[in-house]
Structure 1
């Protein structure tokens, strides 16, 4: 039996559709998910779905992008009063927590970027890499080799995709160890 429909304002309905869509995409993948599946999971008609979004690709992009991009920008903003080294540590810890929390979504993004030509322009790993690299430069953090250090940080972050960790002390110890090994000085 279908759930009773609940009247929502436009923003709440849009958020509800995106949340439901994310669950459908994680469960079925991008190609396996249909707008009909998303509408059903959102407890709305497909016609109503298309009043909010023009395509499945738009739904996908709007569902996954905030998790990856906005949360990094939030971490950068939240850490603005810390020293460069503390800021870097905070941002990496937040990335790892996010990967651990949303590992199914991140796996979906990585998989879909590899197998789905329709989403080929959406290279989230490159976006995160560039955002992290620019943030490190703005923070005044110096490494012997910035490219190598960013790769080490990205690899460290992505390792939590396959080995998620919820123990914050363990995450903090890991990050501090990595940063101590690659960090040179504050500018």
Structure 2
């Protein structure tokens, strides 16, 4: 088995276990068992449980959240904003339980808190960039508030869906239209 395949299996197993049991409730033994590797193999790849958790967050949340390439292909500013909302919401929905676990752990772990701050800051900056193009006459403060509302709505929606099982805004364009109406 290739080293990269082993690493991927461990990360996928970590995603499953952390999502179901949280950071504190998960053990490296359980993750290695789920990945069908020896626990020592897990430690060779990641050294610590915290490193594994951070890399899992990076792979399944940070990298997809910061990938803006598909958002920018021949679209106007408003379409790009819709695409940013759609892709971020989709990423967080796919990784809802891991995201909720990450938010919880950020209270106790500065490295994780900084990862989340970095994600939100970069998504915020990207939203601001395209909102300036599309809403120039609204003024800088208004654009900043709109970007904050959009980002807060995405995060709040994921938490709300997690707690209630509701999928009222399955259609992210409907979500964006509702946000625009409110703002």
State the TM-score, normalizing by the size of structure 2: 0.82
**2:15 matched to which residue of 1?**
22
What are the Cα deviations for residues 87-145 of structure 1, in whole angstroms up to 9, with x where unaligned? 0111101112222222111111111112x3xx222224322221112212443354542
**SS of 1:107 mapped into structure 2:** helix
Alignment match of 1:11 (pick from 4, 17, 34): 4
Structure 1: distance between partners of 2:88 and 2:168: 12
Structure 1 position 128 matched with structure 2 position 104 = no
Shift of 1:13: 0.9
Change (3 A) 1:44 1:38: same
Unaligned runs of 5+ in 1: 1-7, 183-187
Structure 1 position 66 matched with structure 2 position 59 = yes
Structure 1 position 109 matched with structure 2 position 99 = no
Shift of 1:160: 2.2
Change (3 A) 1:103 1:166: farther
**Conserved in 1, the CA contact under 8 Å of 2:23 and 2:105?**
yes
**SS of 1:49 mapped into structure 2:** helix
Aligned residues: 170
**SS of 1:121 mapped into structure 2:** helix
State the TM-score, normalizing by the size of structure 1: 0.80
Q: Normalized per residue, which structure has more helix?
A: 2
**Conserved in 2, the CA contact under 8 Å of 1:100 and 1:160?**
no
**Conserved in 2, the CA contact under 8 Å of 1:14 and 1:52?**
yes
**Conserved in 2, the CA contact under 8 Å of 1:35 and 1:56?**
yes
Unaligned runs of 5+ in 2: none
- RMSD of equivalent CA atoms: 2.1
Change (3 A) 1:167 1:104: same
**Conserved in 2, the CA contact under 8 Å of 1:20 and 1:41?**
yes
Structure 2: distance between partners of 1:179 and 1:67: 29
Runs of 4+ in 1 over 4 A off after TM superposition: none
